[in-house]
Each structure stands twice: as structure tokens, then as C-alpha cells.
Amino acid sequence: MTTTPESSKNESGYFIKDSGPELTRLLERERFFSRILGGPLPEHADQARFVASFQHVLDVACGSGGWVLELAQRYPHLEVVGIDIDPRAVRYATTQARTGTLDNASFRVMDATEPLDFPNDFFDLVNARFLVSIGAAAMPGTIRELFRITRPGGFVRLTETEDYSITTGPAFEKLSAMFLQAEKLTGFSFSPTGRTSGQTVVLGRLLREVGCQNIQRKPTVIEWSAGTDEHEPMIQHIGMWAKMIQPFLIRAGVTTQEESDQLYREADIEMLSDDFCALMNLLTVWGQKPEP
């Protein structure tokens, strides 16, 4: 197991420390992914039918709460709960729920790497996306907790990306490689080499190990090359992300402030070029808790 350098740790276990700008980025990411993917549960052709018999749904590491709010708005019969380690994110999401008079949406501060304050066999669906932020060592225990609080017949749903994007930009690719290597060095990655994050390839195994059955997968590819509708929104999203991971890269020892600043400027130019090409690959994996 990789030991996390002391300089790379932070109190939340997340590699981005400043949750103010990060909260803004997460909010924009939620809006973007919801639009492009076609709703909160795009792997189901009839989303309304899938959740028709459900009562309780949980979103783990909910961030700005966008997934919870959209699901609660679409399906008023659901009680949708979001948890996040960041109190500011929870306050923001709670305010959004009140502003939208969504009485069936609620949020709580909770650490996904610790035992969750919910009873056994309670939720019909437990959703978690981008859990890379909790680290590879914590993932198996967290998935066990998600399984524990899912009712028999209910579902655990996980979504991850293997690397942030594949592009034709040399500077962008170098920044991405640095990020993946920093993840490896600080214990966030499942990859043996740091060439990828190793997240998507272990999702099925993690669900099988806790006892899930009927495991299914849905890959999604987002092209955000120059000339596509997704190009400009992704530039804004990626640009904020690339800037905010700089302290993490420096703490991990994979770059310097000067080098990362230069790469950031070059990547920004690359993304705006007419011949820039880019793909983001997502994988959603879900499994069902066996009934007695």
C-alpha cells in the first residue's frame, strides 16, 4: 500500500483544499453532465419506471447537491438525501433545496470513509460518483457501508472516469499524466503504475466483493473537441479543475509552481485551437443487493 506523504495530506482527505472555487466547479459540472447525459439515471431508458417503487435514495459525496435536487424535482414521491464531508457544500445544497421548495430533498454532513449514520437495509438506491477523492484504501470499506444501508432488492450505483480526458494537446496530456502520478503517489489511485487512475476497472469487483448481484455497466463517451457543443462548457470546467489541482501536484512533488503555471497557460491555448480533439470516458456500474 502506498504511503501518503505528509505534505500531501489534508484534513478532509480530498486533494483540492479550497472548497469555495471547487463548489462552483462542482455546480457547473452537475449542470453540464445532467444536460449531456440526459438525466440523473441515463442508463435506464425509462427512468421514471425504474424509480416508481422507490421511497428513499442517497447520494454519497454529493458536492453542490445537483444530482439530489434534480432527482427530487423530477420524482416528488422520493425522499432524496445527499451527504458530503464539506459543511459549506451541505449548506449551499440545503439553501438550494429550500429556494426550490423541494421538501423531499435534504443534506447532511457526513464522511463517506467512516461508518454512515443510517440504518441497515434502508435505501432503495445508493448513488456515488467520482469517489476517487476518498482514496483507494478507503474505497472497499465505503462500498461495504453503501451495501449495508441498501435494502434487499435495492441498488448500489457507481460512476467514475479513468482519466480526466484523452486529448491531442501535449501540455494538457502532461498535466493529466502529472495528476495521475500524483494520485498514485498519494494513495488515491488503484493503478499499479499511475498511468491511469484504475478506478473504472475495479468497480465491478468492489460490488461483487460486498455481495451485489446482477451487475451491469454503461459506458459514456463525451466528445468535447473544437467545434462540438460540449467544447466551451468543458473548457470552463476543465480550466477551473486544472488550476485548482496545482497545489496538489506541487505537494505530491510531481511538478513546481513555475512548471505547472507554464503548462496551464499552454493547455489553455491548446484547448482553444481549431484542431483540438478530446474525449472524456465515463463508466457507470450498478449492482443489486440480493433478497432473502
How do beta strands 213-223 and 278-288 pair?
Answer: antiparallel
Q: Which three cell numbers stand for residue 266?
A: 499552454
Question: What's the pLDDT at 20?
Answer: 56
Going from the first residue of the chain to its last (292 residues), give the mean pLDDT of each consecutive group of 10, the final group possibly shorter.
33 47 67 80 96 98 92 97 94 93 98 97 97 92 98 97 93 96 94 94 98 97 95 87 89 96 96 97 96 92
Q: Is 233 helix (H, G, I), strand (E, B) or coil?
A: helix
Per the CATH hierarchy, to which homologous superfamily does domain 19-288 belong? Vaccinia Virus protein VP39 (3.40.50.150)
Is-contact 68 82, C-beta < 8 A?
yes
DSSP string covering 132-153, please?
Answer: GGG-TTTHHHHHHHHHHTEEEE
Q: Which three cell numbers stand for residue 292?
A: 432473502
pLDDT in tens, 209-244: 999 999 999 999 999 999 999 999 899 888 888 888
- Domain map of the chain by residue range? 19-288
